């Protein structure tokens, strides 16, 4: 348990990371370092997107599965790591 906590702490304190959040299978945020409204927005939208991406990958080959999703935009990068029951979302500003 503490390993995961530590890992999350490290991720949060890493260079360029704006925020992290953990979302459960229904799209409800469980843990977040951002403010409420932003969190809810991110959680809802990314949950749908992840479901869609997962569905796409699996439709093509059911033995395959989604491991990671990265959305790079002008301002920052959103990374989503899906798990069986949870989603881990990290927003980072990659230093360029």
Partner 1 sequence: MLPASAKAPHKQPHKQSISIGRGTRKRDEDSGTEVGEGTDEWAQSKATVRPPDQLELTDTELKEEFTRILTANNPHAPQNIVRYSFKEGTYKPIGFVNQLAVHYTQVGNLIPKDSDEGRRQHYRDELVAGSQESVKVISETGNLEEDEEPKELETEPGSQTDVPAAGAAEKVTEEELMTPKQPKERKLTNQFNFSERASQTYNNPVRDRECQTEPPPRTNFSATANQWEIYDAYVEELEKQEKTKEKEKAKTPVAKKSGKMAMRKLTSMESQTDDLIKLSQAAKIMERMVNQNTYDDIAQDFKYYDDAADEYRDQVGTLLPLWKFQNDKAKRLSVTALCWNPKYRDLFAVGYGSYDFMKQSRGMLLLYSLKNPSFPEYMFSSNSGVMCLDIHVDHPYLVAVGHYDGNVAIYNLKKPHSQPSFCSSAKSGKHSDPVWQVKWQKDDMDQNLNFFSVSSDGRIVSWTLVKRKLVHVDVIKLKVEGNTTEVPEGLQLHPVGCGTAFDFHKEIDYMFLVGTEEGKIYKCSKSYSSQFLDTYDAHNMSVDTVSWNPYHTKVFMSCSSDWTVKIWDHTIKTPMFIYDLNSAVGDVAWAPYSSTVFAAVTTDGKAHIFDLAINKYEAICIQPVAARKNRLTHVQFNLIHPIIIVGDDRGHIISLKLSPNLRKMPKEKKGQEVQKGPAVEIAKLDKLLNLVREVKIKI
Interface map 29-68 toward partner 1 (x if CB under 8 A)? -x------------------------x--xx--xx---xx
Distance of closest approach, residue 36 Cβ to partner 1, in angstroms: 19
Distance of closest approach, residue 34 Cβ to partner 1, in angstroms: 16
| Beta-bridge partners for 21 | 32, 89
* Lookup result for tokens 């959103």: 78
Q: Under a CB-based contact definition with an 8 Å cutoff, are residues 19 and 31 in contact?
A: no
Q: Is 85 in the site for partner 1 (CB under 8 A)?
A: yes
Distance of closest approach, residue 18 Cβ to partner 1, in angstroms: 11
Phi, psi of 53 (to 5 degrees): -65, -45
CA-angle at 93, arms to 22 and 57, nearest 5°: 55
Looking at the Cβ atoms of 14 and 41, the one nearer to partner 1 is 14
The count of residues interacting with partner 1 (CB under 8 A) is 37
Phi, psi of 76 (to 5 degrees): -160, -175
């Amino acid at each position: 348990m503490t390993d995961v906590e530590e890992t999350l702490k490290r991720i949060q304190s890493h260079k360029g990371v704006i925020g992290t959040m953990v979302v459960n299978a229904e799209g409800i945020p469980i843990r977040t370092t951002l403010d409420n409204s932003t969190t809810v927005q991110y959680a809802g939208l990314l949950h749908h997107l992840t479901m869609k991406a997962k569905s796409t990958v699996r439709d093509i080959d059911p033995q395959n599965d989604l491991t990671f999703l990265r959305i790079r935009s002008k301002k920052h990068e959103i990374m989503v790591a899906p798990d069986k029951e949870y989603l881990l979302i990290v927003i980072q500003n990659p230093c360029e």
